[in-house]
């Protein structure tokens, strides 16, 4: 097993404690790599390196030179996409087909934000006071803590690192303990692109041992987090102690709403893609399918027919459609939710158990599972499962669909399937979700803002909105009058 090292201050280091932990391949359930077990000591060194870089070599670069480095990195990622995708699939069990597509797309975030780096202009304010010149500067925050989950490790890191670096910040990145290997391999590309030492640091380890000291470190100015909402709540509280701004990209219980006037083949496809792609392990999983009652039974039959054909097996195989669950605890959680749904009285129409197929070997596989007869009040209709489990809920009209869709604590995404433009626009306005897809699902781009309403998060990643999350505005006042105003009166 390869022993990996962490990137801190431009050097590859073992953890201060000299300890490692195993990273496990979810398809074989066997350890395949050793990852350094970082701790507060490593965080302290990384934060110091990031602070030094922020005030030093990184600050001295022009914004154009910063952008050029980001674009160089983008080109290196593109060259290495296939290899990194293989590493991700080995580490987190997601389909190679999906990871390869993600890795090929990740360079766009670095190109886009690299292009923005030298366009972060301030404004001259036509101030209402005579004899005064007022302008603004857009400035970086300092050291950013980036904390990422296991489901799309490099994509979700790129969503943070690209705007953070473009804005002139430095970064300490803690990847998930379940998927750190690709992060460490990715780190080599920052070196090869020529980033000054300490601009990007990677400290691996557990949430309480690395994440918490990182968030509370006095030199960390901002926290950018993707993960579960409970962890997000805790991180928000830790960040609040230091009055640190946060970006929180959290979970969801997204509704995929199918109206009777929808193009049914596309809608069936979209609902299957929404929940079974990525084995349901995406924050945007369309885990609730809201189906208009008049087409409910026909739709369910078509859905079952397509879902039954899903090929499970080796995620490295390009023909596999549903891979394993990434972690053993998550596998158990998915099975627990299936049991809960059955106990609540939902009707299991497909799957409903661990997969025992020969092609699944000893991996953590769960059969694609579909429940009908789900009441919106059930736990299975409200809590994030993060696995291949779909709840089908019937509705009668638009008002009821909106009520059910908006009826959870989450608000990450929603899908609407209709051929009526009037209905599409009205629904897009009424749904409480950061992303609404009409007649499509699971589309994201570096150009379009992504984030959650309600308990699904705070702030936006991607698009022009994202760079604002990594900047602060300074207002500069210059007195150009020749008079001496009364010092005891506000100017
Ligand atoms: P998680 O919350 O368990 O862990 C995410 C990261 O936080 C990991 O790096 C983990 O080590 C770290 N962490 C855990 N406890 C911590 C603590 N006390 N202090 C600091 N850091 C801590 O999430 P996960 O299981 O890795 O990922 C799945 C979750 O992520 C799901 O809920 C999913 O919806 C969410 N997610 C959201 C988005 C989005 O963009 N909204 C995208 C992907 C995943």
Mean pLDDT, the chain cut into blocks of 10 residues (491 residues total): 96 97 95 98 98 96 98 98 97 96 97 98 96 97 98 97 98 97 97 98 98 98 98 98 98 98 98 96 97 98 97 96 95 98 98 94 95 98 98 98 98 98 98 98 97 98 98 97 88 82
Q: What is the pLDDT of residue 310?
A: 96
Q: Is 466 in the pocket of ligand 1 (CB under 6 A)?
A: no
Select from 38, 102, 149 the residue to mutate for testing ligand 1; criterion: most ligand atoms less than 8 Å from CB. Answer: 149
Give the pLDDT of residue 325: 96
**What does the pLDDT read at residue 334?**
98
Does 3.30.70.141 match the CATH number of domain 2-250+456-475? Answer: no
Q: Whose CA is nearest to atom 11 of ligand 1?
A: 207
Distance from Cα 379 to the centre of ligand 1, integer Å? 21
Cα–Cα dist 407/342, whole Å:
21
Out of 39, 231, 449, mutate this one to test ligand 1's pocket (max ligand atoms within 8 Å of CB): namely: 231
pLDDT at 482: 87
pLDDT at residue 425, rounded to an integer: 98
Atom index in ligand 1 nearest the CA of residue 249 equals 41
Choose the catalytic residue: 88, 249, 461, 469: 249
pTM across the whole model: 0.97
**Architecture of the domain delimited by 255-438:** 3-Layer(aba) Sandwich (3.40)
Q: Is the CB of 442 under 6 A from ligand 1?
A: no
Q: What is the 3-state secondary structure (H, E, C) of the chain?
A: CEECCEEECCEEECCCCCCEEEEEECCCCEEEEEEECCCHHHHHHHHHHHHHHHHCHHHHCCHHHHHHHHHHHHHHHHHHHHHHHHHHHHHHCCCHHHHHHHHHHCHHHHHHHHHHHHHCCCCEECCCCCCEEEEEEEEECCEEEEECCCCCHHHHHHHHHHHHHHCCCEEEEECCCCCCHHHHHHHHHHHHHCCCCCCEEECCCCHHHHHHHHHHCCCEEEEEEECCHHHHHHHHHHHHHCCCCEEEECCCCCEEEECCCCCHHHHHHHHHHHHHHHHHCCCCCCCEEEEEHHHHHHHHHHHHHHHCCCCECCCCCCCCCECCCCCHHHHHHHHHHHHHHHHHCCEEEECCCECCCHHHCCCCCECCEEEECCCCCCHHHCCCCCCCEEEEEEECCHHHHHHHHCCCCCCCEEEEECCCHHHHHHHHHHCCCCEEEECCCCCCCCCCCECCCHHHEECCECHHHHHHCCEEEEEEEEECCCCCCCCCCCC
327 C-alpha to ligand 1 centroid (Å): 13
Question: Looking at ligand 1, which atom is closest to the CA of residue 452?
Answer: 41
484 lines ligand 1 (CB under 6 A): no
Report whether residue 251 contacts ligand 1, using a CB cutoff of 6 Å: yes
pLDDT score, position 451: 98
Closest ligand 1 atom to residue 457 Cα is 41
Domain boundaries, the chain: 2-250+456-475, 255-438
The answer to whether residue 249 is catalytic is yes
- Is 348 an annotated catalytic residue? no
Please give the pLDDT value at position 491: 82
């Amino acid at each position: 097993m390869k022993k990996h090292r962490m990137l801190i201050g431009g050097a590859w280091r073992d953890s201060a404690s000299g300890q490692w932990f195993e990273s496990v391949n979810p398809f074989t359930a066997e350890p395949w790599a050793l990852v350094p077990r970082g701790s507060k000591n490593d965080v302290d060194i990384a934060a110091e390196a990031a602070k030094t870089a922020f005030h030093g070599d990184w600050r001295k670069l022009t914004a154009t030179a910063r952008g050029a480095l980001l674009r160089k990195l983008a080109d290196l990622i593109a060259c290495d996409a296939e290899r990194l995708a293989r590493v991700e699939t080995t580490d987190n069990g997601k389909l190679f087909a999906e990871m390869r597509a993600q890795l090929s797309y990740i360079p766009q975030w670095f190109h886009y934000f690299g292009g923005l780096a030298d366009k972060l202009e301030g404004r001259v304010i036509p101030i209402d006071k005579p004899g005064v010149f007022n302008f603004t500067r857009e400035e970086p925050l300092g050291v950013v803590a980036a904390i990422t989950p296991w489901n799309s490790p490099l994509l979700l890191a790129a969503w943070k690192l690209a705007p953070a670096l473009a804005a002139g910040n430095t970064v300490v990145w803690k990847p998930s303990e379940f998927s750190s290997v690709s992060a460490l391999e990715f780190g080599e590309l920052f070196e090869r692109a020529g980033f000054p030492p300490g601009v990007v640091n990677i400290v691996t380890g557990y949430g309480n041992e690395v994440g918490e000291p990182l968030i509370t470190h006095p030199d960390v100015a901002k926290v950018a987090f993707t993960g579960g909402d409970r962890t997000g709540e805790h991180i928000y509280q830790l960040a609040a102690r230091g009055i640190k701004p946060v970006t929180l990209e959290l979970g969801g219980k997204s509704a995929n709403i199918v109206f009777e006037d929808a193009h049914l083949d596309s809608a069936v496809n979209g609902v299957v893609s929404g929940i079974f792609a990525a084995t349901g392990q995406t924050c945007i999983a369309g885990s609730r399918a809201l189906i208009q009652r008049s087409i409910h039974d026909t739709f369910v039959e078509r859905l079952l027919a397509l879902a039954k054909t899903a090929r499970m097996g080796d995620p490295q195989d390009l023909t596999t459609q549903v891979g394993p669950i990434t972690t053993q605890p998550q596998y158990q959680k998915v099975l627990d939710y299936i049991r809960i749904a059955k106990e609540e009285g939902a009707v299991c129409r497909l799957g409903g158990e661990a997969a025992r197929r020969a092609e699944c070997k000893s991996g953590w596989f769960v059969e694609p599972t579909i429940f009908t007869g789900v009441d919106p009040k059930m736990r299975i209709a409200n809590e994030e499962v993060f696995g291949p489990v779909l709840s089908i809920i019937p509705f009668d009209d638009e008002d009821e669909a909106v009520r059910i869709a908006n009826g959870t604590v989450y608000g990450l995404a929603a899908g609407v399937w209709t051929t009526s433009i009037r209905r599409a626009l009205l629904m897009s306005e009424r749904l409480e979700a950061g992303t609404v897809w009409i007649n499509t699902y699971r589309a994201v781009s570096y150009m379009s803002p992504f984030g959650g309403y309600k308990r699904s998060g705070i702030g936006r990643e991607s698009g022009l909105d994202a760079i604002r999350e990594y900047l602060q505005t300074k207002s500069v006042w210059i007195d150009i009058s020749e008079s001496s105003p009364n010092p005891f009166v506000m100017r």
